[in-house]
Chains A and B, each alone.
Chain A
Amino acid sequence: MASIRLEQVEKVYPNGHVAARDLDLSIDDGELLVLVGPSGSGKSTAMRMIAGLETPTAGRIWIGERDVTGVPPQERDLAMVFQSYALYPHKTVAENLAFGLRMRRLAPAEIAERVRKVSAALDLDELLERKPAQLSGGQRQRVALGRAIVREPNAFLLDEPLSNLDPKLRVRTRAELARLHRRLEATMVYVTHDQEEAMTLGDRVAVMNDARVQQIGPPMELYQRPANIFVAGFMGSPEMNLYRCTAARRDDRALLTSGGFRLEVAAAHLGTDASDAVVAGIRPQDVELTTPDQTDMGAVVELVEALGNDALVHLALGGAGGAIDLRAIVPEDRRPRAGESVGVRMRAERLHFFDVTTGRRIQGSASSV
């Protein structure tokens, strides 16, 4: 296994489209890094550049101590699992597994031995003589994974490997992948658009948007201290409530208002910049619902969605048909009814504040660490 490093990598297509800019990533030996972002954010391009399937227009890529920027994919010794699995349709499962080893001119006995081991580990023994068309989605996925593992490559690249599985199987395979990663102590780069997958799998997660890495760090750090508005909105489910507020400062206090949203916080939370506008965010999990008389922020329940133990409550802040929506998660046994008037309480230390113009997190805000 090996580490992977991207230095100031950039990819601009001939038509002027920028797919990646200022990419600085370093993936430690044995680490699982998740690249997460919406479609078109550049995460797949980043992975394809590591794979060698795309050539960066600037910057350098290193695998271990070797500069591989101009090296073709065949010579990088990386294994990739594709979203479509890309199994060779005319080859049996056994031949699919053996193909990469044959290309590396391993001795037939060694190939047979490695295929046997991987097949046993992934429970593929029954399927070895079948063609991909005769396999179920989950089986194909395992073969695709096996084809990568059998190679014992420098690193694994996984491109949305779970997105073609049904939800149940996806969760199970996700856990299997995590176990596999620990067992192989393999360097892995994992691309997904699913923030939940990113949170559960990654040692570290890099959130991408607009061809750039927005933030990189352990999942909980991204969740608790999002570096900007994009990360705040992207990580976590349901989505964080974000409001653009006017901030009226009086001494060391500041009153934030935005439609029905009204909250007084210590001015220190808003940083040193004395701007009179700020974006405030709060996760649905951090919103508390009380009776209307206990707080000065009132709301009307518009819709309640049961999630099992919890319920997701959609509220109109500032009364029915009010200017802004608020999402809150409450325990199932305390769920309000639609149409009910409630009070809303938010603890200032649970709020995240972002600069209106740059979108960056304001130091001094939330702190739930």
Chain B
Amino acid sequence: MRRLGWIPIAMVAGLVLATAFPFYWIIVSSLQPESRLFDVPSLIPLELVGEHYRALFDERDFWIPIRNSFIVAGATTFLCVTLGAFAAYALARLRFRGKALILAFILAVAMFPQISIVSPLYLLLRELRLINTYPGLVLPYLTFAMPLTVWLLVGFFRQLPGELEEAALMDGASRMRTFYEIILPLSAPGLATTAILTFLYCWNEFLFALSFTIGPERYTVPVAIALFRGQYQVPWGQILAAAVVATAPVALLVLVFQRRIVQGLTSGAVKG
């Protein structure tokens, strides 16, 4: 490999610094006593305390939004990947009329600005008595998560050599049998990537969660953080601690699977 000159290195370093700094700042600040937060900022923590984290879980029951987020994001991901896999397989492999149209339509659905469907969805969910329930979040989440899943999986399935399926058909396997005995095991990496990405989107989602929940018992993590209120002041320390807690599982997931995710996102872009 060619050695890089100092200009590109400096640019990359600057970029990394600029992206990483806020995270560093959040972590450091979340470990400072409240009184220090408004002092002259210091890059190096002078005093480390765990009080905000303690308050988060003891006083605010932050477990509840974490549990809610896991349930909602988990259920959405599960539904998306199972149902999406069938849809994607059909779109990737079967021959039928209007396939291109359906794919375009799915993409169009994903392009809708969330804010434009919040009100109609709210009315709909209220009619169905689903406001402030888990299904009341999972169903709307499917509107943006499903198109993502289907598109990603269509890419994966198209990549698999068609002769494998033909071989299975010749061997006497039905389409369904071929799907779950040949296609699914071979697409495990694709399914995993898709699941992780879908989970991340749902975990971070804010607008729907804010609009369709009423009480803290159904708040998801982003909503809970946004609605933190003290009696006389904004509890910045706790907000920062909550931000760290909300980021941790996501960051962990991405770090563990990063190679897979990159592979997944670029698959189908180039052959091989």
Picked from A73, A83, A88, A90, the residue with its CB within 8 Å of the CB of B170 is A73
Stretch at the interface among A31-39, A97-105, A211-219, A328-336: A97-105
Picked from B163, B168, B185, the residue with its CB within 8 Å of the CB of A90 is B185
Picked from A84, A103, A147, the residue with its CB within 8 Å of the CB of B163 is A84
Binding site for B on A (CB under 8 A): 51-53, 72-74, 77-80, 82-84, 86-90, 99-100, 103-104, 147, 151, 157
- Given known contacts A100-B172, A103-B173, is B167 in contact with A89 (CB within 8 Å)? no
> Do residues A82 and B163 form an inter-chain contact, with CB atoms below 8 A?
yes
Complex CA gap A86/B165 in Å reads 9
> Do residues A74 and B185 form an inter-chain contact, with CB atoms below 8 A?
no
Binding site for A on B (CB under 8 A): 161, 163-164, 166-174, 177, 181-182, 185-186
> Do residues B182 and A73 form an inter-chain contact, with CB atoms below 8 A?
no
> Do residues A86 and B163 form an inter-chain contact, with CB atoms below 8 A?
yes
Q: Is the interface of B mostly helix, strand, loop or mixed?
A: helix
> Do residues A80 and B186 form an inter-chain contact, with CB atoms below 8 A?
no
> Do residues A74 and B167 form an inter-chain contact, with CB atoms below 8 A?
no
Picked from A72, A78, A88, A157, the residue with its CB within 8 Å of the CB of B182 is A88
> Do residues A77 and B163 form an inter-chain contact, with CB atoms below 8 A?
no
> Do residues B169 and A88 form an inter-chain contact, with CB atoms below 8 A?
no
Picked from B169, B172, B182, the residue with its CB within 8 Å of the CB of A53 is B169
> Do residues B172 and A103 form an inter-chain contact, with CB atoms below 8 A?
yes
> Do residues B177 and A53 form an inter-chain contact, with CB atoms below 8 A?
no
> Do residues A77 and B167 form an inter-chain contact, with CB atoms below 8 A?
no
> Do residues B166 and A74 form an inter-chain contact, with CB atoms below 8 A?
no
Which of B166, B170, B185 has the most CB atoms of chain A within a 10 A radius of its CB? B170
- Given known contacts A84-B161, A86-B161, is B167 in contact with A73 (CB within 8 Å)? no
> Do residues B172 and A104 form an inter-chain contact, with CB atoms below 8 A?
yes
Complex CA gap A239/B4 in Å reads 56
Complex CA gap A87/B164 in Å reads 7
Picked from B161, B170, B173, B174, the residue with its CB within 8 Å of the CB of A51 is B170
> Do residues A72 and B166 form an inter-chain contact, with CB atoms below 8 A?
no
B residues within 8 A CB of A72?
A: 169
13 contacts between A and B (CB under 8 A): A51-B170, A73-B170, A74-B169, A74-B172, A74-B173, A74-B174, A77-B172, A78-B170, A80-B167, A86-B167, A90-B186, A99-B168, A99-B173
B residues within 8 A CB of A82?
A: 163, 166-167
Q: Whole-angstrom distance from the CB of A247 to the nearest CB of chain B? A: 51
Q: Whole-angstrom distance from the CB of A312 to the nearest CB of chain B? A: 37
A residues within 8 A CB of B186?
A: 89-90
Q: Whole-angstrom distance from the CB of B92 to the nearest CB of chain A? A: 17
B residues within 8 A CB of A53?
A: 166, 169-170
> Do residues A80 and B172 form an inter-chain contact, with CB atoms below 8 A?
no
- Given known contacts A86-B161, A90-B186, is B174 in contact with A80 (CB within 8 Å)? no
Query: A53-B170, A147-B171 known; 20 other A-B pairs, CB under 8 Å?
Result: A52-B169, A73-B169, A74-B169, A74-B172, A80-B167, A80-B170, A82-B163, A82-B166, A86-B161, A86-B167, A88-B167, A88-B168, A88-B182, A89-B164, A90-B185, A99-B168, A99-B181, A103-B173, A103-B177, A157-B170
